[in-house]
Structure 1
Amino acid sequence: MTTVAPPTTTFDSLNPATGEVVGTHPIHDAEHVRAVVGRARTEAAWWESLGFRGRKERLVLWQKHVVRHMDQLTDVVHRENGKPHGDAALEITLAVDHLHWAATHAEKVLRRRSVAPGLLMANQAASVAYRPLGVIGVIGPWNYPVFTPMGSIAYALAAGNAVVFKPSEHTPGVGEWLARSFLEAIGRPVLQVVTGYAETGNALCTAGVGKLAFTGSPATARRVMAACAETLTPVLMEAGGKDAMIVDEDADVAAAADAAIWGAASNAGQTCAGVERVYVHERVYDAFLDELTATAKTLRAEPGGQLGPITMPSQIDIIKRHIDDALARGGRAVVGGPDSVGERFVQPTVLVDVPDDSTAITEETFGPTVTVTKVRDMDEAVAKANGTDYGLGSTVFGKARAVETAERLRAGMTAINGILSFAGVPALPFGGVGESGFGRIHGPDGLKEFTYAHAIARQRFKSKLPMTSFRRTEKDEQRAGKLVNAIYGRGNKA
């Protein structure tokens, strides 16, 4: 087994609400990361040898271990990320549900299955199975430090891979807790963690993992892809969003407004698939805005409040810049505004009359702000919702045209008359298009994402048309031509 030397430098994780030190963690260098990946290869061979049922048994043991010690993990998330305990517990609950789904569905999705060989290859028995890639590298975010990376970790493990997880430098204790809990439950380090800054993440990209799953900004995603390209390491990218909600004239306005403020302000607005733009039919615009502003005014971002702090300090300037740009371009703040942006906390802000070219509309804000725009009809709403390079999540509230409207949106996921419901359904894939990335976690697609397809064609009997042999005759070729014409050419006209 590979010996992993201890690192020589450390860094502190801080409570974003107070600035107090939560914990001290090692900065792992490239040599250490390579050693961890080497050890993971050994663990991957053992893990794969267990088969689907052996892995399922162990993943369920881990699932139960996490549930039994959920209060511990909730507290770590609260202290490192800053979100309220209730929100942290909800995040962990969803992650446990996904872990259970992946563990119990992997065999059905990935096991070898027969496929039809086609008429020309009728002498073949054809089958396909999905086999693990070996070691999966996961670079996780700080905003949902359990739920988001577990969308890769749980599915990669269920598919038969070992995992090396590099958590955000803002939430390293969460990553260490997950790896430690796995070891306590299973007794083997099939899930390992490395901590540090960008250099540690870059080392994981180039350490020879079978695939790298990343969640973060589009700018960082490009750097990760460039690093992985050096070793032709495939990548899965979830790179943020500027998600829209559409509210039709026949929508339940109160429910839509409640969902909009939750999507915009929960987790202090630090949700990649949250709501940052709302397009409301002109016939219900005023009623919707009244409901939205009434609720927004009751929310407070403060210690012990409904909203926690902004976890990453540099995001404060981005939020302020977007609010200032919206107001400078003629927009109005009906709730909050520039004064809502504090040193650590940002109060909910609702912006209206914001032009389409404002950064509050075009760039990801990642704060508890939302723009509300009046539209004539659903055609205009869809056009504006799709008018972005992002394409992660989306939401539609309405009745008669809700499904039709949802199907017209350029997005990886859509919730109808609910908020973020697609993320909570384990069988549904999660991921985006465009600047929001590519690849999918969750569901059957998420399991297959961490595998490669292995096809087998087995000859059952000799073909009467030996087309793949130098013994093939001109007569064989003529017969093959006649067969193709008989099967596929009849009724076809030039």
Structure 2
Amino acid sequence: MTVQTSFESRSPATGEFLARHRVDSSVAVDAAVRRARVAADWWAGLGFTDRRRRLLRWKHVLVRELDGIAELMHQETGKPVDDARLELVLAVDHLDWAAKHAGQVLGLRRVPSGLLGFNLAASVRYLPFGVVGVIGPWNYPVFTPMGSIGYALAAGNAVVFKPSEFATGVGVRLVETFAEAVHEQPALQAVTGFGDTGAALCRSAVDKIGFTGSTATGKRVMAACAQSLTPVLIEAGGKDAAIVAADADLGAAAEAIAFGAMGNAGQTCVGIERAYVVDAVFDRFIERVAAIADRIRVGAEPQAQLGPITMPAQVSVIRRHIEDAIARGGRAVVGGPESVRPPFVHPVVLVDVPEDSEAITEETFGPVLVVNRVRTLDEAVDRANSSRYGLGSAVFAGRRTATALAHRLHAGMTSVNGVQSFATVPSLPFGGTRESGFGRIHGADGLREFARPQAIARQRFRSPANLLSFARTARDMRVPMLLTRSLHKRG
């Protein structure tokens, strides 16, 4: 049997040949991890200040190369160049935050020692794992993996990055820019290939895996990592819902939800796939969102607002969801099955779709928005929370109503009177619950995700009560027993 050693990267919009990349075997992956192990010792030894200096230098290289990387992203994924630029702008902002805040979040800090530990000085610090493997997606091939890569590096880890086979050139370019800024050791490396290369990374000697992708693949990643008890961070799929209340700004809500559903051709894990709109404003909302969806320009030309479906296999999923929704009584107010014109899918807005249809229960990952009518906001919350996913969400309402609704949603993140805004704030944690995964990137939680806490209790002076000794006496126990009964006797 012939072993594939390389593969072609082609434009999803035109089929044009872009580049050839290697397929890294398990042997090559293990070699990269060994190199990373050496680099990790050096990188961790630099300390927060010197790592910050180098990461900010990398940031400057990324800014300098931003337009070129955006163009490459456009070629590989098909997304409009300005969408690619925005993705890079966000990634740069997050890298800057991680570099500048790692010392404050992860550095040694004193903590209270408590009454029984009055003779102790208690402290905690966060140490890097060592080598972190990152498996990235194709839909946001810089911003999403950088949520793991940038924060893992800032925490003191070396990283071995496996980019998606649909965006390999972007991933390789990302590593090349790092090497330009940090030339001493390969603290960031890339391994390339298909699923087998990612599986090899999971089975290698990495100390943690950060994965972004489908829920099904996330489960396979967990199973592989379980063999060696390698900890994992899983950022999987979503079926994000938006709620529109009667006191919402309907124009703003329609504009935001249309973008949240259709942006990046709907290929967004935190894209809006469901909208629940109260009966009082439903018809007016549908008019507005349909008008916006009708005007969206689709194609490969520079003025297009939506590009192709990057992964060809997803086209059949999108078509099936549309057809199933209509067959089960749903109605298309914009587009329909005829909107699926590979490699492009034009915007589709569906209404009156049964809650047990695939377009409601499964991730569509295309420019398809289901808008269903609800009688009350309580019904909207119940429907939004009925999904097996729990990644992002959005609420459109007056200030007091919106906050109360946001607190009731079973999602890792919620935007109020906007969509996906939580992803733009570097200090906010990003991640989901249920089958959307676990663990967090971004913010202080994202830095701690890639570090292990070390607790230290230092004896400042000998305790008069000899509690932790076989020489303990009844007299030694008298004081802690009196204190416990005095302080904790009431609930």
Residue pair 1:395, 1:419 contacting (<8 A) in 2 also: yes
> SS of 2:435's equivalent?
helix
Which residues in structure 2 correspond to 1:193-232 (within 5 Å)?
A: 193-232=190-229
Which of 82, 94, 104 is matched with 1:98 structurally? 94
- Partner amino acid for 2:125? A
Q: Who is 1:403 aligned against?
A: 403
Alignment match, 2:337: 338
Which residue pairs with 2:150 in the alignment?
154
Which residue in 2 is equivalent to 1:116? 112
Alignment of 1:271-290 (within 5 A): 271-290=268-287
1:283 partner SS: helix
SS of the residue 1:402 aligns to? helix
User: Partner of 1:12 in structure 2?
Assistant: 8
The residue aligned with 2:264 is 267
Q: CA deviation at 1:478?
A: 2.9
Name the CA distance, whole Å, in 1 between partners of 2:62 and 2:451. 26
- 1:189, distance to aligned residue in structure 2 (A): 1.4
Q: Does 1:166 align with 2:171?
A: no
Q: Is the partner of 1:454 in helix, strand or coil?
A: strand
Percent of residue pairs bearing the same amino acid type: 58
- Give the CA deviation at 1:475: 2.0
Residue 182 of structure 1, aligned match among 152, 172, 178:
178
Question: Among residues 14, 17, 22, which one is paired with 2:18 in the alignment?
Answer: 22
Residues 292-307 of structure 1 mapped to structure 2, 5 A cutoff: 292-304=289-301, 305-307=304-306
- How far does residue 303 in structure 1 lie from its aligned partner after superposition? 1.2
Question: Cα RMSD (Å) of the superposition?
Answer: 1.0
Question: What code does the residue aligned with 1:254 have?
Answer: G
Q: How does 1:12-91 map to 2 (within 5 A)?
A: 12-91=8-87
Residues 300 and 348 of structure 1 are in contact (CA less than 8 Å); yes or no, is this contact kept in structure 2? no
Query: How many residues align structurally?
Result: 485
Q: How big is the shift at 1:360?
A: 0.3
Q: Does 1:131 align with 2:127?
A: yes
Report the Cα distance in structure 1 between the residues aligned to 2:177 and 2:29, rounded to whole angstroms: 20
Alpha-carbon distance change, 339 to 8 in structure 1, aligned in 2, over 3 angstroms: closer
Runs of 4+ aligned structure 1 residues displaced above 6 Å come to none
Residue deviations 1:61-104, cap 9 Å, x none? 00000000111100110000110000000000000000000000
1:19 Cα offset (Å): 1.1
Give the match for residue 4 of structure 1.
none
Instruction: Please point out which of 238, 241, 244 is paired with 2:238.
Output: 241
Structure 2 gaps, min length 5: none
Which residue number in structure 1 is paired with residue 434 of structure 2? 434
Match of 1:476 in 2: 476
1:8 positional shift: 7.6
Deviations 1:342-375 (A, max 9, x none): 1200000000010000000000000000000111
Q: Secondary structure at the match of 2:139?
A: coil
Q: Match of 2:392?
A: 393
Q: Provide the C-alpha distance between the structure 2 equivalents of 1:418 and 1:356, rounded to a whole number of angstroms.
A: 24
Q: Paired residue for 1:324?
A: 323
Give the TM-score normalised by the residue count of structure 2. 0.98
CA–CA separation in structure 2 for the residues paired with 1:478 and 1:416: 55
Q: CA deviation at 1:22?
A: 1.2
* Unpaired segments ≥5 residues, structure 1: 1-6
How much has 1:281 moved relative to structure 2?
A: 1.1
Normalising by the residue count of structure 1, what TM-score does the alignment of the two structures yield? Answer: 0.97
Of 311-320 and 226-235, deviating more is: 226-235
Distance 2:413 2:486 in 1: 44
> SS of 2:69's equivalent?
helix
The residue number in structure 1 matching 2:376 is 377
